[in-house]
C-alpha cells in the first residue's frame, strides 16, 4: 500500500529529504507543507548577495516547480497549528487535517526577539526569510545610518552588505567579542578589524538601556550613558529551534527536537532534520544542533533515506561558512571541546586556521582568510577528523607544508 | 582547427598527482589538473561566486570549491553539489614531449 509521507516545513532540509525519499520509493505520496509561499530556497544569500542586489529572488530556489512535479512531490503553502502524534494527524487553524504514516519535522529555527518596554517592537527588523529580506532591502534604500543589534554571523553579514551599499553602519554587541565565544578571539578580532577598515563602527561590551523614537529617528541609550542616533534598526541576537508547536506534546525536546543518529525522534515514525533537530553524533558521542547550509542538506538527505527504509547513520562532520566583505570564515567539527589549540598562519591573505585537538585527535577547526584561502585546509581537516587520523602537529602549524598529502591514499 | 589554439601550460612535472595548477592566459584563468589517468583542464573560476578554484581540493575526479564546497566533475565540468549549480567549462588537453597544452576556443 502507498504510504503518506509528510514533511512539515518547506526549507532546505525538507526539499532534500523529499527528493531522497523519492529516489528510494517511487510509489508513496510525498507532501511538503510550508508556511512560506515560496518553493524551498537558499537562505545564505539573504544577508549577502540578495541585499547587495547581486542575486534576485529567482536565483535562490533550489529547484524549479517542474523538478518537484516530475518527481511527484506535492508542495502546499499552509501553516500547521496543531499536531496529534497519537492519531498521526496535522491540523491547520481551520481544523483541516493531514494524515501521515511517517512525518519529517524540518521547521528550522526562528530569530530571538528583543523585548523593549515601549511600543517600538514593530520598528525593529529581523532577517530569517525572503519576505523579511525584501522588506529590509526596500526600507534601507532611503536610510543612511543603520544600527545592527547583535554581532553574530547574520548581523555582521548584514553589516558588511549595508556598508557595501554605502550605509553608515553601527554594530552593538553585548559580549566581549564578535560571533560568540565559539570563534577564537584572534579570528573575531581580525573580522572586527576588517569591519572597521571598511568604515563600520563596532561597539562591544555594551547593552541597550533604552531606545527613543523622535521625528522618525531613533536614539539608542547604552548602559554607559552614550547615545547613538540611527535611522533604522535591525536585530540579530540569536535564534532558537522552531518547536513551539510541540511544546505540549510528548515529543522529546532539549535545545530542539532530540534525534538519534538515524534522524528518529522519541516518537515512532516521526523524524526531524536540519536546524530544528538536536542530533546525536556518533563520532563526538554527544548531541549537536547546527544552523548550517551543508548540514540542512545532508541531514535532510539522511532523514529521507531512513524514512524510505534505507537505514543510514548520520556521520557528517559539521561545517559552515560566513562571508563578510572579502573574507570567508569557515568552521568544521566542534570547537568547544579541546585540550590543545594549534595555529596555522597569521595573515588573512594566506589564511589563518586554529585547530582544536583533544587527546591528539583533531576535533574541529576555525579558519579565516581572503575568499578561498582557508577552504581546502578546512575541508582536509573535516576528513582527518572523520577518519580519526592523528597528525604531526608541526605539519598542521606550518603553512609551507600542504595538508593534501595527509588524506591521499 | 588551427594549431594556434593549443596553448602551452608548462611541463608535466609541474603538477603533482591528484593536484592542480592555475594557468592565466590573456585575461582568462584556467585550472589544469593531473589525475591518475591523465591531465584535464577547466575554467579557473567557480561558477557560483567567482572564487579561484586553484585553492580548491582535488579528490578523485572532482574539484571542490574552497569557498562553499560546491563540487564539479573535472572531466565533464558537471556541477555535482550545491551551492554550485552551473556547470564548469572544460578544455581539451594534450601532452607533447612532457609539455602540457590546452586548447582554448
Ligand atoms: C540570513 C541567513 C543567512 C545564512 N547564512 C548561512 C551561511 O552563510 N552559511 C551557512 O552554512 N548557513 C547559513 N545560514 C543557515 C542555513 O540557511 C540554515 O541552516 C538552513 O536554511 C536550515 O534549513 P532547514 O530546512 O532546517 O530550515 P529552514 O530553511 O529555516 O526551513 C524551515 C521552514 O519551515 C517553515 N515552518 C516552520 N514552522 C512551520 C509550520 N508550523 N507550518 C509550516 N511551515 C513551517 C519555515 O517558515 C521555513 O520555511 C543562514 C541562515 C539565514 C537565515
Ligand atoms: S564560490 Fe564556489 S561554491 Fe560558492
What residue ranges do the domains of chain A occupy? Answer: 4-110+239-307, 113-235, 326-408
Look at chain B and report how many structural domains it folds into: 1
Residues A48-80 pLDDT 10s: 999 999 999 999 999 999 999 999 999 999 999
Global confidence as pTM: 0.95
In this structure, CATH architecture of domain A4-110+239-307: 3-Layer(bba) Sandwich (3.50)
Ligand 2 centroid distance, CA of A80 (Å)? 35
ipTM of the prediction: 0.89
Q: What is the mean pLDDT of chain B?
A: 93
Q: CB A297 to CB B82 under 8 A?
A: yes
Q: Which of residues 11-50 of A touch B (CB under 8 A)?
A: 42, 44, 49
Domain with residue B98: its CATH number is 2.102.10.10
Q: Average of pLDDT values for A311-331?
A: 97
Residue A119, pLDDT score: 80
Residue A395, pLDDT score: 95
Residues A142-195 pLDDT 10s: 999 999 999 999 999 999 999 999 999 999 999 999 999 889 999 999 999 999
Nearest CA to ligand 2 atom 1: B49
Task: Please tell us whether the domain made up of A113-235 is placed in CATH 3.50.50.60.
Answer: yes
A409 has pLDDT over 70: no
Residue A82, pLDDT score: 97
Q: Whole-angstrom Cα distance, residue A234 to residue A41?
A: 22
Shared fold status for A113-235 and A326-408: no
Ligand 1 contacts CB of residue A277 (under 6 A): no
Which 8-state DSSP code applies to residue B13? G
Ranges in chain B, pLDDT < 70: 1-4
- Dig out the grid coordinates for A356 from the structure: 582544536
* Chain A hits for B58, Cβ within 8 Å: 404
Q: What is the residue whose three cell numbers read 550545491?
A: B82
Rounded to a whole number of angstroms, the distance from the CA of B76 to the nearest CA of chain A is: 22
In this structure, CATH architecture of domain A326-408: 2-Layer Sandwich (3.30)
Of B18, B19, B66, the CB nearest to A372: B66
Range of the domain at B55: 3-103
Amino acid at each position: 500500500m502507498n504510504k503518506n509521507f509528510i514533511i512539515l516545513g518547506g526549507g532546505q532540509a525538507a526539499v532534500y529529504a523529499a527528493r531522497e525519499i523519492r529516489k528510494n520509493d517511487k510509489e508513496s505520496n510525498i507532501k511538503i507543507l510550508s508556511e512560506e509561499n515560496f518553493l524551498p530556497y537558499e537562505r545564505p544569500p539573504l544577508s549577502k548577495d540578495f541585499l547587495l542586489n547581486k542575486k534576485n529572488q529567482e536565483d535562490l530556489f533550489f529547484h524549479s516547480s517542474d523538478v518537484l512535479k516530475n518527481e511527484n512531490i506535492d508542495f502546499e503553502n499552509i501553516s500547521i497549528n496543531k499536531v496529534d502524534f497519537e492519531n498521526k494527524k496535522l491540523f491547520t487553524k481551520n481544523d483541516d487535517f493531514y494524515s501521515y504514516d511517517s512525518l519529517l519535522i524540518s521547521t528550522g529555527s526562528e530569530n530571538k526577539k528583543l523585548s523593549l518596554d515601549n511600543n517600538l517592537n514593530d520598528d525593529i527588523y529581523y532577517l530569517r526569510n525572503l519576505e523579511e529580506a525584501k522588506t529590509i532591502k526596500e526600507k534601507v534604500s532611503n536610510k543612511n545610518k543603520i544600527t545592527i543589534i547583535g554581532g553574530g554571523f547574520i548581523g555582521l553579514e548584514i553589516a558588511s552588505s549595508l556598508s557595501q551599499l554605502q550605509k553608515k553602519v553601527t554594530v552593538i554587541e553585548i559580549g566581549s567579542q564578535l560571533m560568540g565565544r565559539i570563534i577564537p578571539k584572534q579570528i573575531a578580532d581580525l573580522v572586527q578589524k576588517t569591519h572597521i577598515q571598511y568604515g563600520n563602527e563596532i561597539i562591544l561590551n555594551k547593552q541597550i538601556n533604552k531606545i527613543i523614537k523622535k521625528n522618525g529617528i531613533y536614539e539608542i541609550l547604552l548602559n554607559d550613558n552614550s547615545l547613538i542616533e540611527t535611522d533604522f534598526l535591525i536585530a540579530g541576537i540569536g535564534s532558537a529551534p522552531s518547536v513551539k508547536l510541540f511544546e505540549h506534546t510528548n515529543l522529546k525536546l532539549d535545545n530542539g527536537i532530540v534525534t538519534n543518529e538515524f534522524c528518529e525522534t522519541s516518537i515512532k515514525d516521526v523524524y526531524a532534520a536540519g536546524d530544528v533537530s538536536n542530533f546525536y553524533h556518533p563520532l563526538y558521542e554527544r548531541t549537536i544542533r547546527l544552523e548550517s547550509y551543508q548540514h540542512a542538506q545532508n541531514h535532510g538527505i539522511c532523514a529521507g533515506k531512513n524514512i524510505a527504509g534505507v537505514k543510514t547513520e548520520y556521520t557528517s562532520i559539521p561545517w559552515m561558512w560566513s562571508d563578510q566583505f572579502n573574507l570567508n570564515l569557515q568552521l568544521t567539527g566542534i570547537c568547544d571541546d579541546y585540550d590543545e589549540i594549534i595555529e596555522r598562519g597569521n595573515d588573512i591573505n594566506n589564511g589563518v586556521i586554529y585547530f582544536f585537538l583533544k587527546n591528539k585527535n583533531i576535533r574541529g577547526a576555525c579558519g579565516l582568510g581572503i575568499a578561498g584561502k582557508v577552504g581546502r585546509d578546512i575541508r582536509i581537516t573535516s576528513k582527518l577528523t572523520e577518519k580519526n587520523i592523528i597528525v604531526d602537529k608541526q605539519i598542521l602549524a606550518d603553512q609551507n607544508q600542504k595538508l593534501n598529502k595527509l588524506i591521499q591514499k | 582547427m588551427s594549431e594556434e589554439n593549443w596553448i602551452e601550460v608548462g611541463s608535466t612535472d609541474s603538477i603533482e598527482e591528484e593536484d592542480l595548477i592555475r594557468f592565466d592566459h590573456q585575461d582568462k584563468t584556467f585550472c589544469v589538473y593531473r589525475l591518475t589517468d591523465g591531465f584535464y583542464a577547466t575554467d579557473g573560476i567557480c561558477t557560483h561566486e567567482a572564487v579561484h578554484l586553484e585553492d580548491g581540493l582535488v579528490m578523485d575526479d572532482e574539484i571542490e570549491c574552497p569557498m562553499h564546497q560546491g563540487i564539479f566533475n573535472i572531466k565533464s565540468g558537471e556541477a555535482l553539489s550545491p551551492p554550485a549549480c552551473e556547470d564548469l567549462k572544460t578544455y581539451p588537453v594534450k601532452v607533447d614531449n612532457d609539455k602540457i597544452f590546452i586548447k582554448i576556443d
